[in-house]
Amino acid sequence: MVDRQRDGTYAITFPDHIRQLLVGLSRQLDGALDTDDDPSLARLFPTAYAHDAERDAGYQVFARGELIEHRREAIALLAETAERGTLDEDELTAWMHVVNDVRLVLGTVLDVGEDTDMVDPEHPQADLHDLYHILGAVLYEIVNGLSEGLPDDDQLDDEMSIDLGDD
């Protein structure tokens, strides 16, 4: 449903109801970003200094605003491009951020664990669990698409080897 094309853009074939779902959820996320101390948003603003509360407070002062701003930009770009059949890398990356952010909130609300799979349809939060899994599938497609745009391993030199060229 996400295919990288020769010109570096991405063909997007998600059905309309998925696109509408993403726009609706992104609006809810946008509204929620202004609420302070909402435990369901904890994963969007993680601790940086695990053993130093004072330094972490300093980090949160500048990082929180930037993280909110970055998320709002992604939400705006998703809303702008939600109906498009072709996205460039920045636009698709914005979709990825929004889908992942909503999943983080939803996963926190549902308190998912490593082995959380499909729940019983009678489960009181069955709809939210379905939504969580749908977003996982959408994210998987987006990430696989974007991964096609990354350099191949043989073009990278992780081991810091130096290419001396031909002898």
The footprint of another protein (CB under 8 A) covers 43-51, 59, 63, 66-67, 70, 97, 100-101, 103-104, 107-108, 112-114, 116, 136, 139-140, 143-144, 146-147, 150, 153, 156, 158-161
Residue 138 and residue 14 in contact, taking contact as beta carbons nearer than 8 Å: yes
Q: Which is nearer to another protein, 120 or 153 (CB)?
A: 153
- Assigned token pair, 5: 């094309």
Phi then psi dihedrals of residue 150, to 5 deg: -80, 155
- Assigned token pair, 143: 């990430």
Least Å from the CB of residue 115 to another protein: 8
Least Å from the CB of residue 20 to another protein: 23
Least Å from the CB of residue 49 to another protein: 7
* DSSP-derived secondary structure for 122-155: TSTTHHHHHHHHHHHHHHHHHHHHHHTTSPPGGG
Q: Which is nearer to another protein, 117 or 122 (CB)?
A: 117
Least Å from the CB of residue 127 to another protein: 18
53, 123, 140 from 152: Cα distances, Å: 40, 44, 19
Q: Which is nearer to another protein, 20 or 116 (CB)?
A: 116
Least Å from the CB of residue 7 to another protein: 20
Q: Which is nearer to another protein, 19 or 103 (CB)?
A: 103
> Which of these, 64, 46, 44, lies nearest to 106 by C-alpha position?
44
